[in-house]
Structure 1
Amino acid sequence: MSISPSITGRNALVFLAVVAGGAALYWMRGILTPLAMAVFLAVMIDSFARVLLQRVPRFPKDLALPSAILLSIAMFGLSVWVVTANGASFVGQMRDYAPRLNDVIAQVASLVGVKVAPTIGDLINQLNPTRYAGAAAQSLQNFASNAVLVLIYLGFIIASRRGFSRKIVALYPHHAERDGAMQLFQRIRNGIEQYLWIQTVTGLIIAVAAWAVMMLVGLDNAMFWAFLIFIAAYIPILGGAIGCILPPLFALVQFPHSFWPAVILFAALEVIYFVVGNVILPRMQGDTLNMDPTVVLLSLAVWGALWGVTGMFLSTPLTVAVMLILAQFDGTRWIAILLSEDGDPSGAALDTPPPGAAPKKRGVRAASRQNSIKGT
């Protein structure tokens, strides 16, 4: 079979563009990471505003966005309160866990044939935590600076959102091109909202069920662990591993004379994650995101390598957006087909808003025509 030189050159050019784009994303991660997080939060706040307009009868339209912002601030404050209220007691209990942890280490050492088991103090001294103090302080400083940048970007994005429709009209003066651009934007936004809706609902189900099991077992700081499990649910695959492993490990420390609480907790968490991941999640997700499971794992690794924890958190919505954009061009459509699950990366299933989002009351062409009237 002969391959046209033009096709070979085009594919090579696409490959080089992907490599150069990845290098640029990594090189500019300090700027792009807070911006991407701010855009994600802006879409979330806009979704809250549209839900208020749809679900609350006669809700003032001018108060929808401010109410959504206040709701987001309240949720963030509640999260900070949960962490501070439960984290302080967790740190205090860690001091009492030291003798129990030594007993666990001794039991494990006897099982593997080690005659003299090290203590937790010996292990800490071998790790030499002082050499990591500078890196930890630098990480905290970067987190604080990135949080400030995210808030600044978010404020400017919300302030400039009113001019978006006029920019679309100026960029695409013809109705056909404008309809296509608006449809692509709507699909990307619906994809992000679909991801938010699915991960939030499934994360709440897992966190509440895990909290109930941890309370029955008697694990300390069950609310703190349930909150961490809920946050970790937004990271595909890796979040499930964290939620299944960490609480049973601390159950071993809390109950050093019996392995049964840790075994029961681990088995219960595995059942919860299995039911949610194989029964509830497929029914909620359906074919809307249309991403191959292997691509989900690969995107987690790629975006994590490029942008760290923030890239892992945003890996799925970023990959959905990239797939939809690549599907619009003939030269890159084959990449979008490989990323999709059923070979159709157009994202037609995303034309339907996710549950909880306001349905479209008019077509794309009607919206673009009204925007053109406003723009003129």
Structure 2
Amino acid sequence: MNMKVLVGLVALLSAIALCTVLNLASGVFIPLVVAWFILQVFRPVIRLGWKLHLPPALNITLVFAIFFGLCILGIYFCASQAVEFNRAYNLYYSKLNTMFHSVLKALSIPPSTISDFNWLDLLGRYVRNISELILTFSSKFVLTLVFLMFMLLEAPYVNEKIDKSFSGPNAFRIKNILDTVSQQISRYLGTLTLISLATGFCAWLLLAAMGVELAAGWGVLTFLLNFIPTVGSIIATIPPVLMAALQFSPSLFKPLAVFFSLTAIQITIGNVITPKVVGDRLGLSPIVILLSLLLWGTIWGIPGALLSVPIASIIKIVCENIQSLRPIAVLMGSGKDALMAAPPVVRRKTKTHVQTNVPNTSEDFE
């Protein structure tokens, strides 16, 4: 068998095995990766603590205080939106009941068929699923905080460990990779946050102008879902349209107006501007962004979809710093990067006379 074919098969099997391990051990790998990304988000705060010569315990306390403060603000906002929804629950329930019976009548389904259905059993299954989801999220959240704490303790000594573990050029290369990854991820998160804020703000203004209730909540939901490339912007359109259909029923004018207006915003910002701007900032091809979204979404679900683009960026940066993998980095890059990349050097073989007792030059080892 050809050696190149054998190497390709081994690489393919290794990739499949790696994806399988990542999927089976997602309960450990997802909190670990999320903790690392949280560390990158708070890196400016951490570096400020280093410059001020704060003790490690105080630096960790500062990061956790900011993190928990943001979590408490998010919980408070969700609770306020839930209270607002609860006030109009009876009105929404009666409208939903009317719409439901209208659909049954249009489909010629007798109401007795639905009334005989065991709704309590269905509700019980949903409650159990939600309880399991909350329990799983809580355990992963605690594990993420544990990983984050140990990473914060280890962060000040990473460069020293690299210098003492590797030779000069290799240590420099490894530190360069880590610094580049950190800068690219920070740049990506900052750019995507601004784009998501703009999308959520536009959605909130539009829904508030049209009189859709819970407009602020839908704006925040749009902001959060836009962190999922391409697909998130589509999903974010559905809940506000359903709310408009429920609120303004039986009229269809407002729900359709909300649908087309939000779709226009999402297509313009989410499906055109976001992949282009984020792709250029990270130097990634839009096709690579989409494939990474599909791959990591399949392996890790929603967390994988959220982390897909940063992971693709990390892979590209590592490939750029390894000579044999640079063609992969060029293929993963955007068109602008491909135009700026230098073509591979083709070395022609020349006939040379054999000489003895002549030392090799440094070029022979490159």
TM-score, with normalisation over the residues of structure 2? Answer: 0.80
The one-letter amino acid of 1:76's match is C
Change (3 A) 1:124 1:255: farther
Distance in 1 separating the partners of 2:228 and 2:77: 20
Asked whether the equivalents of residues 103 and 256 of structure 1 are also in contact (C-alpha less than 8 Å), the reply is no
After superposition, give the CA deviation of every residue in 1:92-137 in whole Å (9 maximum; x if it has no partner).
5344312212333455566xx5234759975883982323433322
Asked whether the equivalents of residues 98 and 120 of structure 1 are also in contact (C-alpha less than 8 Å), the reply is no
Corresponding residue SS for 1:295: helix
- TM-fit CA distance, 1:193: 1.0
Q: 1:32 corresponds to which residue?
A: 29
Equivalent pairs: percent with the same residue? 25
1:74 and 2:69 equivalent?
yes
5 Å matches for 1:199-214? Answer: 199-214=192-207
Distance in 1 separating the partners of 2:326 and 2:276: 28
Unaligned runs of 5+ in 1: 54-58, 349-376
Q: CA RMSD in A?
A: 3.2
Asked whether the equivalents of residues 275 and 286 of structure 2 are also in contact (C-alpha less than 8 Å), the reply is no
Asked whether the equivalents of residues 229 and 243 of structure 1 are also in contact (C-alpha less than 8 Å), the reply is yes
The one-letter amino acid of 1:102's match is N
Asked whether the equivalents of residues 47 and 193 of structure 1 are also in contact (C-alpha less than 8 Å), the reply is no
Asked whether the equivalents of residues 285 and 333 of structure 2 are also in contact (C-alpha less than 8 Å), the reply is yes
Change (3 A) 1:117 1:92: farther
Q: 1:44 corresponds to which residue?
A: 41
1:192 and 2:185 equivalent?
yes
Count of aligned pairs between the two proteins: 335
- TM-fit CA distance, 1:69: 4.5
1:162 and 2:156 equivalent?
yes
Q: 1:233 corresponds to which residue?
A: 226
Asked whether the equivalents of residues 230 and 275 of structure 2 are also in contact (C-alpha less than 8 Å), the reply is no
Q: 1:140 corresponds to which residue?
A: 134
Q: 1:305 corresponds to which residue?
A: 298
Which stretch has the larger CA shift, 157-166 or 134-143? Answer: 134-143
Corresponding residue SS for 1:128: helix
Change (3 A) 1:118 1:189: farther
Distance in 1 separating the partners of 2:34 and 2:86: 30
Change (3 A) 1:94 1:247: same
After superposition, give the CA deviation of every residue in 1:44-72 in whole Å (9 maximum; x if it has no partner).
0113555x79xxxxx94648876555333
Q: 1:16 corresponds to which residue?
A: 13
TM-score, with normalisation over the residues of structure 1? Answer: 0.78
After superposition, give the CA deviation of every residue in 1:6-39 in whole Å (9 maximum; x if it has no partner).
3222222211111111111112111111111110
Q: 2:346 corresponds to which residue?
A: none
* Alignment match of 2:308 (pick from 303, 312, 315): 315
5 Å matches for 1:85-100? Answer: 85-100=80-95
Change (3 A) 1:65 1:201: farther
- TM-fit CA distance, 1:88: 3.1
Distance in 1 separating the partners of 2:53 and 2:207: 43
- TM-fit CA distance, 1:182: 1.7
Change (3 A) 1:126 1:338: farther
Unaligned runs of 5+ in 2: 342-366
